[in-house]
Amino acid sequence: MEKLRLAVQKSGRLSEKSLDLVKECGISYASGTGKLLASCYNFPMEILFLRDDDIPGYVEDGVADIGFVGENVLIESGRKVKTIERMGFGRCRLSIAIPRSQEYNGIEDLQNKSIATSYPHILGKFLKEKGVKADIHEISGSVEIAPGIGLADAICDIVSTGSTLLSNGLKEVESVFTSEAVLIGHKGISAEKQHLLEKLLFRLASVKRAKNNKYIMLNAPNKSLQKIIALLPGINSPTVQSLATEGWSSVHSVINEDDFWEKIEALKKAGAEGILVMPIDNLIL
Ligand code: PRT
Ligand code: ZN
């Protein structure tokens, strides 16, 4: 039987979240340090551990069928793969930064400047679109020290909290690209593997949905029931059971994380008591 081969960053910012998702999909594998390939016990899948920069190429070539990778790395690589899903983790941006002491009045200030980056393709395209001619200096690491050592006037690098820029005396002046982890797939995947991929995507969707929702239980005086039920749509509608105490009911439902606190406040106001909120592992519709 064919196995789906998933590429995951071996060690770095995306590793833990990628592997957590695999586990949350109910898939377990033999983990061990230094492993390059791990077989899953209860799903026909193998996990290939790679440097993030290698993932788009492995997926393009079909050595891996799918992979989790930063969109910044994917776009920079120029590899031809399918973007299956945006994952919502590993969020960051690719930005241009200059020494803090320097004035900045707009993108034309970058005209004829030198910019150090590990993202020459994305930066080149951005500058071209803006009509700016600059000298792109490609370096592979420690980009943030380039202005300080006189290697370049500016940098273009990944920013998340901004503390690296701050501690290197730099300020962000242009945002080039916003990124998050994406699930990518090989373009010529076999029918059998496509079937496995769909099974995996079904589980991923259920995990994602579950993360966005909470299970809620509360007690309500019967006279407030209508009001409370109107606030809780549930999957179809909430479950209502009588409590041992006369005139009271217990209401069970699922609520969305987005308006969670507003909902709780409204429920309390409507007369709800003993509100209990619990996480959901899976939510299958
Ligand atoms: O060894 P390997 O090549 O696999 O790893 P790597 O060192 O190339 O990548 P890694 O693990 O640092 O990042 C993997 C992916 O995580 C990136 O491709 C991005 O998609 C995403 N990501 C999210 C980040 C960051 N946040 C991030 N903050 N990648 C890098 N950084 C670095 C950035 O380069 C800079 O040095 O963190 C610093 C800035 O962070 P702040 O918080 O100080 O702004
Ligand atoms: Zn890398």
Please tell me the predicted confidence (pLDDT) of residue 260. Answer: 87
Domain ranges in the chain are: 4-90+181-210, 92-179, 213-279
Summarize pLDDT for 1-60 with one digit per residue, the tens.
899 999 999 999 999 999 999 999 999 998 777 789 999 999 999 999 999 999 999 999
**13 CA distance to ligand 1 middle (Å):** 6
What's the rounded mean pLDDT across residues 205-233? Answer: 93
Please tell me the predicted confidence (pLDDT) of residue 33. Answer: 72
Taking CB atoms and a 6 Å cutoff, what residues make up the pocket around ligand 1?
9, 12-14, 51-53, 70, 72-73, 90, 92, 157-164, 179
Please check whether the two domains, 92-179 and 213-279, share a CATH topology.
Answer: no
**217 CA distance to ligand 2 middle (Å):** 45
Please tell me the predicted confidence (pLDDT) of residue 121. Answer: 98
High-pLDDT (> 70) share of the chain, %:
100
Please tell me the predicted confidence (pLDDT) of residue 34. Answer: 76
Please tell me the predicted confidence (pLDDT) of residue 95. Answer: 98
Please tell me the predicted confidence (pLDDT) of residue 237. Answer: 84
Considering the domain 92-179, what is its CATH architecture? 3-Layer(aba) Sandwich (3.40)
State in words which class domain 213-279 has.
alpha beta
Ligand nearest to the CA of 73: 1
**57 CA distance to ligand 1 middle (Å):** 19
Q: For residue 164, which atom of ligand 1 is closest to its CA?
A: 43
The total of other beta-carbon atoms located within 10 Å of residue 99's CB is: 15
Please tell me the predicted confidence (pLDDT) of residue 24. Answer: 96
**pTM for the full predicted model:** 0.91
What's the rounded mean pLDDT across residues 158-181? Answer: 97
Q: For residue 162, which atom of ligand 1 is closest to its CA?
A: 44
CATH number of 4-90+181-210: 3.40.190.10
What's the rounded mean pLDDT across residues 222-243? Answer: 90
CA-nearest residue, atom 20 of ligand 1: 70
Which of 15, 18, 52 maximizes ligand 1 atoms within 8 Å of its Cβ, making it the mutation to test the pocket?
52
What's the rounded mean pLDDT across residues 231-248? Answer: 89
Give CA–CA dist 164/39, Å, rounded: 37
Flag whether pLDDT at 151 surpasses 90. Answer: yes
**53 CA distance to ligand 2 middle (Å):** 5
High-pLDDT (> 90) share of the chain, %:
92
Please tell me the predicted confidence (pLDDT) of residue 257. Answer: 86
Query: Position 76: which residue type?
Result: E
Which of 13, 74, 93, 167 maximizes ligand 1 atoms within 8 Å of its Cβ, making it the mutation to test the pocket?
13
Q: Which residue has the tokens 């390059």?
A: 36
Please tell me the predicted confidence (pLDDT) of residue 57. Answer: 98
**8 CA distance to ligand 1 middle (Å):** 15
> Could you tell me which residues come within 8 angstroms of residue 49 by beta carbon, excluding any fewer than 6 positions away?
7, 8, 9, 10, 35, 36, 37, 38
Which of 49, 51, 160 maximizes ligand 1 atoms within 8 Å of its Cβ, making it the mutation to test the pocket?
160
**127 CA distance to ligand 2 middle (Å):** 23
Strand order in the sheet with 45-50: 37-39, 45-50, 4-9, 66-70, 181-185, 82-86
Summarize pLDDT for 67-126 with one digit per residue, the tens.
999 999 999 999 999 999 999 999 999 999 999 999 999 999 999 999 999 999 999 999
Please tell me the predicted confidence (pLDDT) of residue 203. Answer: 97
CA-nearest residue, atom 18 of ligand 1: 70
Q: Could you tell me which of 181, 173, 120, 115 has the C-alpha nearest to residue 144?
A: 115
Q: Counting beta carbons within 10 angstroms of the beta carbon of residue 124, is it exposed (0 to 12), middle (13 to 18) or buried (19 or more)?
A: middle
Summarize pLDDT for 121-138 with one digit per residue, the tens.
999 999 999 999 999 999
User: What are φ and ψ of residue 31, in 5° steps?
Assistant: -100, 145
